Every structure is written in structure tokens, then in C-alpha cells.
């Protein structure tokens, strides 16, 4: 029989309007639902970058079906409401694709619909991903007025030759202008840089990072360029720095960012105090997220199960199906035995580690479900167990952080 949540408890309030299949009995026992974020995918770009495997599609400016897509997002949101009934939203992330291709009026409409239909917490972080190739001062200011609190700019490099080899639509001048304006207009912002680029050497890497640091960014995301299957780079790979060089590059990035007061709090994320990305932290802490838009993924918790959802991937199919009230293309319950790995895959990315109690809060499983691989990881010097006033804590060692996939695999 389904266990009835105590009257008035957050779990009871969140489950009142739920279809029965989400409340069936199950082997998990979750307490209160975790923090909820909302991810909205806006899938168009001016052109497809040769390294990119995101769900992004080239579109000619002016041909993007913005109004229809916003109608579809609203229909998707309305159909999703019973799944998140009564829950407050901690963060919103408008990702892509290139969300900054949307008009400020379109972004204002989207955010106003989200605010009308969902309780956004006061001070809710609202991030928008922007490409410097879509840069115009008035546009960025209008995004701010529409309710965006945090801009994340896909700079990649400040070197014109590197930007060209990455197939980017923007140049150094536009990247500088976008970073300068983000610093002026937004209370907090992020710059994305990639490293280990075709033909990049240490001097080139340092020049890119120093240029970024000159804007005193509150947050930096530094990604090792990876050759993803089914991309133009995978078919015709460029010559990239070898592994030793890219490891040295990462050491240098860590040194220079630390000297500039940015803390590496996750594998690729560096922040000044108070500027960590709430939205991404919620993913890494195995929180919940509602995914809206083409190909968007969601993870939602219920008293006895954790559910994953995916929306139709192709923008045309997504719009058609979402407008007919059927945006979900795939929905699956996470198997009980898959939960420890799924949790650890995320949580081990955090430099500071996590309280062991978080594992039980998020998965409904006892700490004993992790005991054997934790023993093994500790014995191999990849993980440490700490006793803190809040209770036991798990943290990757420096070695575990450097060999993260070895550490994560122990939980498979
Ligand atoms: C989804 S993209 C969104 C930003 C925006 N579309 C842009 O590219 O300017 C997020 C970030 O992922 C990083 N990224 C994308 N593909 C990558 C790859 N193959 N290797 C490493 N980083 C990648 C880039 O730094 C990019 O800014
Ligand atoms: S702009 Fe960003 S999302 Fe679009 S193709 Fe390039 S990397 Fe991918």
C-alpha cells in the first residue's frame, strides 16, 4: 500500500495533484523533495560549431519560429505543473543552443510565464547563455530588465585564429565587448573558455586566461576541448595538444585562477565567494530539475521513486507534440541499483565533497548502499572520509579528483 505522507508535510503538499502512477508503492523511501530547478532549452544557433554535440540547430536570423516555440514551452510547462505542484523554484537556466538569439521580448514573455505558473524563490538565480556573436548593448540590458540575473558568455578564446579554427561566429573584439558589458550590467556573470585547442601552446593559454581575468569575472567555466562523436571534428580531427601538455595547462589554469581569488569548486567551475552557480550546484548535489524545451532532460523525485524525463529532441517535432500536450518523448524510473552511481557521478565532481546524509536524502537509500565502494576508494587513496559536526562527509582526495573517472567507476 502507498505510504501516506504526514498531513501538511512538504511531500504531501507536493503530491496532492499527482497522477496515481507517480505515487505507486516502491522500494525507495524519500523524505522531503530536494530543491527544484528549471532548465529551458532554446535550440537554435547562427551556425553549428564543429566540436558541438549539443541539441543545437543552425538557423538564419529572422527565420527562428520564436513565437511558436514560446507557445510550445508554455504548453510543456502547463502539462508539467502537476509533477511539481507546490514546490518552489531555486534557479532557472536558459541554455542552448544560443538563447541570446531570442528577442528580449521573447525572454521577458518566457520568464513572466514561469513566474506566473511557478513560485520562484526570492532572489532566484536566472541564468541566460549568450554568444558574443549576438552581442548588442541594448539587447543585453533588455535581458537584464526581463529578469535575467546572471549572464553566461560562450567566449571560448580571445584569440582570433583560435576562434576561427573553432568555427565560432564571433571574434576577439566581440568577445571583449560582451565580457565588458556583462561586468557592467549583470550582478554576476560567467565566462566559458575552452583549452587544449588546436595549435594552442602554454603562452596562448595564459594570454586567454589573463584576458578573461582582467574582467574580474565572478565565475569562470574552463572546459578541456573534447572530440565528441558525430561532430565535424570527430570526422576530421584537428591536431590537439597531447595529454601531458593539456595536464600542464590545467595545472597552470588552477594556479592562475587561485591567485586571482577564484576557487575551483567543481571539475570545470571556478568562482569567487558567493558566486557559485546555484543551478549547476543543484545538478551536482543530485537535486531535482524540470526540463522544458526540445531535448530537455528532467529529474523529479517522488515519495517512492526518482523519475527521468526527456522531451522530443527535434525542434519541429517538439513544437508539434508539446502544443498537443505531449512534450515528453521518454520517461523512465531510475532503477534502485542505478541510484548510487548516478548520485556519485554528480557529487564526486564537487571539490569539497558532500555530507553522507545527502545521499540518503536524495536517493532514499541507506548509507550502507555505498559502503563497499567507499571502502575500496578510501583504500586506493581516491576518497577520504571526514567526521564533521554535521556528520560524516565524503571528499575526493587530490588524486581522486585528478583521476575522477577511476573514482566514479568504483560506484558502477
Ligand atoms: C551549450 S554551450 C552554450 C553556450 C553557447 N552556445 C556558446 O557556445 O557560446 C556551453 C559551453 O560548453 C562548452 N563546450 C561545448 N562543446 C564542447 C566540447 N566539445 N568540448 C569542451 N567544451 C565544450 C563551451 O565552452 C560552451 O560555451
Ligand atoms: S554556439 Fe554553442 S550550442 Fe551553438 S553550435 Fe556552437 S557550441 Fe554548440
Lowest mean pLDDT among 19-33, 288-302, 330-344, 359-373: 19-33
Grid cell locating 36: 527544484
Ligand 2 neighbourhood includes 231 CB (under 6 angstroms): no
CA distances from 165 to 156, 170, 233, 239, 312 (A): 11, 12, 10, 11, 32
Please compute the mean of the pLDDT values over residues 54-83 and round it to a whole number: 96
Ligand 1 binding pocket (C-beta < 6 A) is 51-52, 54, 95-96, 98, 129, 131, 154, 156, 192, 194, 223, 225-226, 228
Residue % of the chain over a pLDDT of 90 = 90
- 329: cell is 518523448
Cell numbers 593559454 correspond to what residue?
205
Phi, psi of 68 (to 5 degrees): -65, -40
C-alpha 412/C-alpha 370 separation (Å) is: 11
pLDDT higher than 80, residue 3: no
Q: Which atom of ligand 2 is nearest to the CA of 51?
A: 7
Atom of ligand 1 nearest to the CA of 49: 8
Please check the confidence at residue 181 and state whether its pLDDT lies above 70.
yes
The residues, any chain, with a CB within 8 Å of residue 260's CB and separated by 6 or more, are 213, 216
Q: Calculate mean pLDDT across residues 314-340.
A: 97
Contact 195, 205 (CB under 8 A): yes
Cα(229)–Cα(241) distance, integer angstroms: 19
Average pLDDT over residues 302-322: 97
Nearest CA, atom 8, ligand 2 = 52
pLDDT level of residue 17 (50, 70, 90 thresholds): low
Cα–Cα distance between 270 and 274 in angstroms, integer? Answer: 11
Of 108, 198, 100, the closest CA to residue 146 belongs to 108
CA 31, CA 10: separation in Å to the nearest integer? 9
DSSP 283: H
Which strand (E) or helix (H) includes residue 222?
strand 219-224
Distance from residue 368's CA to the centre of ligand 2 (Å): 42
- 134 vs 197, which has greater pLDDT? 197
Which ligand sits nearest to residue 95's alpha carbon? 1
Task: Count Cβ atoms within 10 A of the Cβ of residue 390 and give its class: 0-12 exposed, 13-18 middle, 19 or more buried.
Answer: exposed
Atom index in ligand 2 nearest the CA of residue 154 equals: 2
| Pairing outcome for strands 150-156 and 44-45 | unpaired
pTM: 0.94
pLDDT confidence of residue 145: 97
d(CA 57, CA 43): 6
What is the average per-residue pLDDT within 317-327? 98
Q: Which pLDDT value is given to residue 4?
A: 46
**β-strands 305-311, 288-293 pairing:** unpaired
Mean pLDDT, the chain, as a whole number?
A: 94
Q: Rounded to the nearest 5°, which phi and psi values hold at 59?
A: -145, 145
User: Which is nearest to 151 in space by CA: 111, 183, 112, 104?
Assistant: 183
Q: What is the pLDDT of residue 14?
A: 46
Q: What are the backbone dihedrals phi and psi of residue 205, each rounded to the nearest 5 degrees, phi first? A: -60, -45
Residue among 43, 223, 227, 268 to mutate when testing ligand 1 (max atoms within 8 A of CB): 223
Ligand nearest to the CA of 231: 1
Confidence (pLDDT) at 16:
54
Going from the Cα of 208 to the center of ligand 2, the distance in angstroms, rounded, reads 19
pLDDT score of 169 more than 90: yes
Cα separation, 395 vs 382, in Å, equals 9
Looking at residue 369, the DSSP 8-state letter turns out to be G
pLDDT digits (tens, 9 = 90+) for 233-256: 999 999 999 999 999 999 999 999
Quote the ligand 1 centre to 52 CA distance (angstroms): 7
Q: Is 411 helix (H, G, I), strand (E, B) or coil?
A: coil
Residue nearest atom 21 in ligand 1 by C-alpha distance: 225
Q: Is the peptide bond before 82 cis (omega within 30 degrees of 0)?
A: no
Name 78's Cβ contacts closer than 8 Å, sequence gap at least 6: 117
Distance 277 CA to ligand 2 centre (A): 20
Q: What is the pLDDT of residues 19-51, one digit of tens each?
A: 788 989 998 999 899 999 999 999 999 999 999
The finding on whether 55 has its CB within 6 A of some atom of ligand 2 is: no
For residue 8, pLDDT over 50 is answered with no
Q: pLDDT digits over 281-306, tens only?
A: 999 999 999 999 999 999 999 999 99
Mean pLDDT of 191-219: 98
Grid cell 538557423 in the structure block, residue: 59
57 lines ligand 2 (CB under 6 A): no
Amino acid at each position: 500500500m502507498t505510504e501516506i505522507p504526514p498531513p501538511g508535510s512538504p511531500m504531501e503538499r507536493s503530491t496532492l495533484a499527482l497522477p496515481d502512477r507517480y505515487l505507486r508503492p516502491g522500494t525507495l523511501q524519500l523524505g522531503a523533495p530536494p530543491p527544484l530547478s528549471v532548465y529551458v532549452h532554446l535550440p537554435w544557433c547562427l551556425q553549428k560549431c564543429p566540436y558541438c554535440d549539443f541539441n543545437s540547430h543552425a538557423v538564419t536570423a529572422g527565420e527562428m519560429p520564436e513565437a511558436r516555440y514560446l507557445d510550445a514551452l508554455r504548453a510543456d510547462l502547463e502539462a508539467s505543473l502537476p509533477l511539481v505542484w507546490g514546490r518552489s523554484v531555486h534557479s532557472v537556466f536558459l541554455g542552448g543552443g544560443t538563447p541570446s538569439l531570442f528577442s528580449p521580448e521573447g525572454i521577458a514573455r518566457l520568464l513572466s510565464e514561469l513566474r506566473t505558473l511557478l513560485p520562484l524563490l526570492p532572489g532566484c538565480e536566472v541564468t541566460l547563455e549568450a554568444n558574443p556573436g549576438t552581442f548588442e548593448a541594448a539587447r543585453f540590458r533588455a535581458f537584464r530588465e526581463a529578469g535575467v540575473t546572471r549572464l553566461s558568455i560562450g567566449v571560448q578564446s580571445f584569440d582570433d585564429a583560435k576562434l576561427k579554427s573553432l568555427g565560432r561566429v564571433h571574434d576577439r573584439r566581440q568577445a571583449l565587448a560582451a565580457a565588458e558589458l556583462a561586468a557592467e550590467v549583470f550582478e554576476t556573470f560567467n565566462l566559458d573558455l575552452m583549452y587544449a585547442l588546436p595549435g594552442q601552446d602554454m603562452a596562448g593559454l595564459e594570454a586567454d586566461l589573463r584576458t578573461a581575468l582582467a574582467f574580474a569575472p565572478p565565475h569562470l567555466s574552463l572546459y578541456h576541448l573534447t572530440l565528441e562523436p558525430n561532430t565535424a571534428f570527430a570526422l576530421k580531427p584537428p591536431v590537439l595538444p597531447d595529454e601531458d601538455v593539456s595536464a600542464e595547462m590545467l595545472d597552470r589554469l588552477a594556479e592562475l585562477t587561485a591567485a586571482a581569488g577564484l576557487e575551483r569548486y567543481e571539475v570545470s567551475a571556478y568562482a569567487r565567494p558567493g558566486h557559485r552557480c546555484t543551478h549547476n550546484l543543484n545538478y551536482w548535489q543530485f537535486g531535482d530539475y524540470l526540463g522544458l524545451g526540445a531535448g530537455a532532460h528532467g529529474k523529479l523525485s517522488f515519495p517512492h521513486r526518482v523519475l527521468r524525463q526527456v522531451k522530443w529532441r527535434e525542434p519541429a517535432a517538439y513544437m508539434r507534440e508539446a502544443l498537443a500536450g505531449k512534450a515528453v518523448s521518454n520517461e523512465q524510473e531510475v532503477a534502485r541499483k542505478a541510484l548510487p552511481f548516478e548520485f556519485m557521478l554528480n557529487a564526486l565532481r564537487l571539490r569539497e565533497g558532500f555530507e553522507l546524509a545527502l545521499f540518503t536524502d536524495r536517493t532514499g537509500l541507506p548509507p550502507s548502499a555505498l559502503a563497499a565502494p567507499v571502502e575500496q576508494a578510501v583504500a586506493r587513496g581516491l576518497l577520504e572520509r571526514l567526521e564533521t559536526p554535521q556528520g560524516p562527509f565524503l571528499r575526493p582526495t587530490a588524486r581522486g579528483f585528478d583521476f575522477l573517472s577511476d573514482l566514479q567507476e568504483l560506484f558502477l
